[in-house]
Structures are given as C-alpha cells and as structure tokens.
Amino acid sequence: MTLDWKRERSTLDDDAVLWCLRLNEGLANEREQEDLRAWLAADPARRHRLDAITALWDGIEDDAHAPEMLSLRHAALTAMEQAGRRGWTWPRRMPWVGIAVAAMLVLAINVVFLLRDPMTYYTTGIGERRVVALADGSTLSLDADSAVSVRFHRNRRDLTLDRGRAAFRVAKDPLRPFAVTSGTHVVVATGTEFTVEKLANEVRVALVEGRVAILRTVPHGHAVQLAHVGKTTEPAEQALTPGHELILTNGRALGALRASAADVGWEAGQLFFANEPLGVAAERVNRYSVGKRIDVASDVTGIRVSGVFNAGDVDAFARAVATVFPVRVRNDGERLLLSAPRKIDANAGQNGTNSRKVN
C-alpha cells in the first residue's frame, strides 16, 4: 500500500492548527489535555509541527489589535468552537473544519506581513527633514541625509542609525527597551528624549531628558560604555545627564562628556555650532547642500567654529569661516575646498611667486 504523503502532511497541519487554537484560547480541559498528550505521543513529528504552528500564531498575536486581524481571528475561533460542540473527535470526523481553520491561519499570517514589515526603513535626502510617528507611540525626527531602520518585537524595540542624525522621543514602556544602534555603540532607553548622530569618526549621544544606558561592542558581546568625568571615569548611564552629550570616538575606549552644544535648531532649518571642529561643522552643512559640497583639508579640520547658519547656505558658511580664520576657499564649481592659505616660497623671484597647496 502506498501512502499519500501530501494528504498525511495536510492532516497533520489541520490537527496542529486546531490544537494551537484550542490551547492559545485556554479552552482545553483536563480530558482534552490527555487527548493532546496521546496525540503528541503517537508521532514525534506532531510536536515539531505544533511548535511551528504555535510560533506562527504568536506572530499573529503581536497584531491581534489590528482591525484586519480581528475578523480573521473571530472566524477561525468560531469554526473551532462549532466543531468543538460536536466533540473533540472532530479533527478526524470533519477534516473540512481543520482545512478551513488552517486556511484562515495562513491568510492571517499573510495579513500580518502586509500590516507589519519586519523592518521599516526611514530616510531623508540632502536638505530634507522628516518626522515619523512610530507604531509604539514614539516619535522619530530625522535630520537631512539620514537613515534609520526600525524593527519592533514583542519584548524590545530595535533601531539602527545608519547615517546622519536623528532625535528620538521614546514612548514609555519599561517592558520593551528602546535600543538605537549606531556603529559599534548601542543606546538603550525605555522612555526618554535624546539624539544620536553618526559622523565620519564619531558617534554622539545628546540627552534632552530622562536617562539612557550606552553599550559598546566588544569581541564577545557588549560592555558598558565608560565616560571621562573630570579626573575619574563613570558608566555613561550615570555620567550623561540632560543638557549634556557624550562623544564616542572610533578607536577610543572612553567617551568624552561635555555640555550639549544645544544644536536643536536643525529641526527648524538652522545649524548652531558652539566651538565645533570645522570638519564636523562642514559634515553637517553638507547634509543640506543640494548643489555645492564642502571639503575640508586636514590642515584646518581642527579649527573650532561657532555661530548660527541657515541650513543649505554653504557659500555663507564658507565666507564666514574665511573671514574669521586663516582659511582659503577654493571654488571649483561643484565643491568648496577649505584649506590653509598658500605658503609663499622665500626663494621666489621678485616678479613671481611659487605656491603650493597644503593638504
């Protein structure tokens, strides 16, 4: 005799689906639990199949509040209960019920993936800003030329800042930590407000209110990030208080704590710099420059600049820097190169000079 393996698998799926529904709704009495144990003992494959169906059902539970899910859930449970009133022998007597419920479960799973992409990616272009209301009630504000991926789970909220800068106003939920990863660092909060910025060689975390923990990646997992506080070191969670920011430099184990630069104007179209390295300031200005870009030579990147500038006006920024500091601006049409002034060769003749660009 040849068995139809497809039919056997279908029957197994039907029974597993029905048992999953029965157990998850808390409807199994003592007799039914004995039946379940006997059903599982008869074939080892049944335990694996029930576990797989239960995992899928748990995914649906995450979105059980959605209107599209409520009707599907109600239909599946109604079919199950109607069959249950005829006795718990219905998986064999009425296979059509199991098939119908299985079909509803598969349809529900498909709706889940339509309703909730496992990962959502938010981006802004050069010169663009964006505010996003997240599904958990948190708010995400993206600076120009920034990108954040969001993935929510039942017991945690995971976000990744791939580039640029973002402000996070986190909805309080102590049971679901809100973790923002950028580079090799992770900022963890449950309900607070903070910004994370990813620069070429740094990650900066500025705290507006509340409290956050900061971790760094180590070879075997994560370790608590430490920060310089005067002549001592403290865990970043203790050191970083509202109104301050932590500067995490690539390759350095300790973060540098300082009063926040108060650069909150970017959400309103202004850039505020307080004793900021010229290289970092130019990197921020470039997020808003649709046309020209600013390149900063290594010989002037450490110059400290302060001031308020309109986002996107790279020419005004370059002129202001050249007016205050010994910086040369060279315009090649597509970019502005900021560098140290040309050096005059002392051996040059009276009728001419020999100059070279200092990089």
**74-88: b (≥16 Cβ within 10 Å) or e:** eebbebbeebbeeeb
Q: Which residue has the higher pLDDT, 283 or 350?
A: 283
Range with lowest mean pLDDT among 55-69, 107-121, 240-254, 283-297:
55-69
Structure tokens at 23: 């157990």
Range with lowest mean pLDDT among 37-41, 175-179, 259-263, 273-277:
259-263
**Predicted confidence (pLDDT) per residue in 152-189, tens digit:** 988 889 999 999 999 999 999 888 899 999 988 899 98
Query: What is the number of alpha carbons within 13 Å of residue 333 lying toward its C-beta?
Result: 0
pLDDT of residue 290: 81
**Predicted confidence (pLDDT) per residue in 119-137, tens digit:** 899 999 998 889 999 999 9
Structure tokens at 128: 């663009």
Give first-to-last CA distance, the chain, whole Å. 84
Query: What is the number of alpha carbons within 13 Å of residue 126 lying toward its C-beta?
Result: 13
The pLDDT > 90 percentage for the chain reads 30
